[in-house]
Amino acid sequence: MIPQAPILAIVVPLFSAFLMPMIGLLSKRYNIDRACDWFAVAAMVGTLIIVASMAPTVWGGQIIVYKFGNWSPPWGINLAIDALSIQMALMIAGLGTLVMVYSVAYMQRDSRRDLFYTLALLVITGMMGTILTGDIFNFYVFLEIMSVASYALIAFRRDSSGIEAGLKYLFIGSLGTSFVLLSIAMLYSFVGSLNIADLGAKLAIYRGAAQPVPTILVASLALFVTGIMIKVAMVPFHIWLPDAFTAAPTAVSALLAGPAAVVGIYWVARLPYLPFGLPVGIILVSLGLLSMIVGVLMALTQRDFKRMLAYHVISQKGYMVLGIGLGTLGSVLGAQGGLFHLLNHSIYKSMLFMCAGAVLYRTGSQKFEELGGLGKNMPLTALTFLIGSLAISGIPPLNGFVSKYTIYLGGIEAGLPIVTIIAVLVSALTFASFFKAFSSVFLGQRPKHLRDIQEAPKLMLFPMLAMAVVCIVIGLFPALGFNVVGPAQAAAENSAGYIGHVIGGI
């Protein structure tokens, strides 16, 4: 482990973000063309190395506790990294790096790219912070850093649809984060602590049926769940997501669909055990089912490439929440499937957005009826899109099949076979929707004005192909994925171990 690695994982993207405008100025003065772009990529690679250096220690069964200013946990602020956090941190850093490489090519026509990278790195900072922190108010602060930066990123091009989507996400998202703040305030007034491990230890008496749960705790839990669900975009709270993902520059959509999805699901996975430890399984299962069905039905009717992908984000996040919900109802397979699906989905959904971005970059259109026959012009983009759509539909031997199959088994294991049946049906509808998208963009008649379209730039193809290879490799060797999500699921459930590690070291 690199010394001070936990804090460096947050500080490196944060400081790179604030150095970025300066580098932009210098590169303008000395005429270095792409200094900002490569600095952003370098910052992300550095973050990835730092996070990866922590992984062996954590998977060896330890929980890394980093104390700010050496104040012991219940009083000071601490970072706590267990197997669940490290899975999420690795995903954020890895996918973030690929998205940055993609943006180097995708954003080259935009002016003020230094500001774009500042905001993108701030989003990464916020995500890293929410994942790694062991203090619930700190979590709120990082959540806001991530949210405010992503509102700005969505409206980055200041076009009319971006402004509208940014405003919409801002109002709905700020409402959600205010709920989280109110929930934290109630929790503090009841328990008198902000440390997640300490809260978990002090609320442990309500975990069994012996003690009646006080009303303020239920209210706090309800507000917290609502706030998180707005960020995850489960169905009653999903309206911001399709607009935001359609209007944002595609590199931002890929960033929000892949890495940013991680934050919400991390808290969905953490919530049933720490800090509340109250049974929320049935809420998660029903919200997950609702999102799966509504998301895929809405996606079937879309005529816009990115909007269709956005509705599939909602539907696939439903699978993850469903899996984790099944996990709290006693099915280990369900929870592992949910976390595994998060891993797979982040990879192929970022990739699919990148394909849509490549098509948009070359043709200037994202409407199905204006596109067609692009398979001849852009064979590699078509190939990666095909791999992505087969993976998202759960066709073997790709990674989506493995995780979806694990969730199906989880449904049966939890004694709810009806859930499995619905999940299989939604998967079939997903396939139908992607079949339509693939045939209308890459097959069929090619409009005359699209005859001279070229393949996407190499810098765009590189992250897309890398992700496609990962999809196939995880599909062929699912044990690789289970080696990551197995410990993560065990760590999420092992709240006593977490509390012991964080508080016990006094």
Partner 1 sequence: MSLNYVIAMLLITLGLYCLLFKRNLIKLIIGLSVMTDGIHLFLISMGYRTGGIAPIVTGESTSNLPNFASRAVDPLPQALVLTSIVINICITAMALSLSIYAYRHYGTLDPSKIRRLSE
Using the minimum distance from each CB to partner 1, give the nearer residue, 229 or 429. Answer: 229
Query: Using CB under 8 A, which of 73, 126, 129, 166 touches partner 1?
Result: 166
User: Minimum distance from CB of 126 to partner 1 (Å)?
Assistant: 12
Using the minimum distance from each CB to partner 1, give the nearer residue, 52 or 163. Answer: 163
Query: Using CB under 8 A, which of 182, 278, 290, 465 touches partner 1?
Result: 182
Query: Which helix (H) or strand (E) is 109 found in, with range?
Result: none
User: Is the backbone of residue 466 left (phi > 0), alpha (psi -120 to 50) or beta?
Assistant: alpha
Rounded CA separation 116/36 (Å): 10
Using CB under 8 A as the binding rule, whether residue 401 contacts partner 1 is answered as: no
Rounded CA separation 240/488 (Å): 30
Rounded CA separation 101/72 (Å): 40
User: Minimum distance from CB of 160 to partner 1 (Å)?
Assistant: 4
* Distance set, CA 272 to CA 255, 363, 492 (Å): 27, 46, 9
Using the minimum distance from each CB to partner 1, give the nearer residue, 95 or 136. Answer: 136
Using the minimum distance from each CB to partner 1, give the nearer residue, 19 or 182. Answer: 182
User: Minimum distance from CB of 297 to partner 1 (Å)?
Assistant: 21
Any bridge partners for residue 133, and if so which? Answer: 79
Q: Phi first, then psi: what are they for 370, rounded to 5°?
A: -95, -5
Using CB under 8 A as the binding rule, whether residue 189 contacts partner 1 is answered as: yes
Rounded CA separation 437/458 (Å): 24
The identity of residue 131, as a single letter, is: I
Quick check: 206 and 277 in contact, CB under 8 A?
Answer: yes
Binding mask 45-84 for partner 1 (x = CB under 8 A): ----------------------------------------
User: Minimum distance from CB of 299 to partner 1 (Å)?
Assistant: 19
Using CB under 8 A as the binding rule, whether residue 178 contacts partner 1 is answered as: yes
Q: Phi first, then psi: what are they for 135, rounded to 5°?
A: -130, 130
Using CB under 8 A as the binding rule, the residues of this chain from 285 to 324 that contact partner 1 are none
* Distance set, CA 433 to CA 258, 269, 308, 437 (Å): 20, 29, 8, 6
Using the minimum distance from each CB to partner 1, give the nearer residue, 167 or 332. Answer: 167
User: Minimum distance from CB of 150 to partner 1 (Å)?
Assistant: 11
Rounded CA separation 349/399 (Å): 12
User: Minimum distance from CB of 195 to partner 1 (Å)?
Assistant: 11
Rounded CA separation 328/330 (Å): 5
Using CB under 8 A as the binding rule, the residues of this chain from 119 to 138 that contact partner 1 are 137
Apex 46 CA angle, 502 and 403, nearest 5: 65
- Candidate segments 87-95, 141-149, 199-207, 329-337, binder of partner 1 by CB under 8 A: 141-149
Query: Using CB under 8 A, which of 185, 428, 476, 480 touches partner 1?
Result: 185
Using the minimum distance from each CB to partner 1, give the nearer residue, 188 or 206. Answer: 188
Peptide bond preceding 13 in cis form (omega within 30 of 0): no
Using CB under 8 A as the binding rule, whether residue 217 contacts partner 1 is answered as: no
For tokens 């405010």, the residue is 148
Total residues contacting partner 1 by CB under 8 A comes to: 25
For tokens 């469903």, the residue is 322
Query: Using CB under 8 A, which of 1, 52, 115, 181 touches partner 1?
Result: 181
For tokens 């706030």, the residue is 227
User: Minimum distance from CB of 370 to partner 1 (Å)?
Assistant: 17
Strands 64-67 and 78-81 turn out to be: antiparallel
Using CB under 8 A as the binding rule, whether residue 448 contacts partner 1 is answered as: no
Query: Using CB under 8 A, which of 163, 222, 409, 450 touches partner 1?
Result: 163
Using CB under 8 A as the binding rule, the residues of this chain from 142 to 161 that contact partner 1 are 144, 148, 151-152, 155, 158, 160-161
Query: What is the contact surface with partner 1 in residues (CB under 8 A)?
Result: 137, 141, 144, 148, 151-152, 155, 158, 160-161, 163-164, 166-167, 170-171, 174-175, 178, 181-182, 185, 188-189, 194
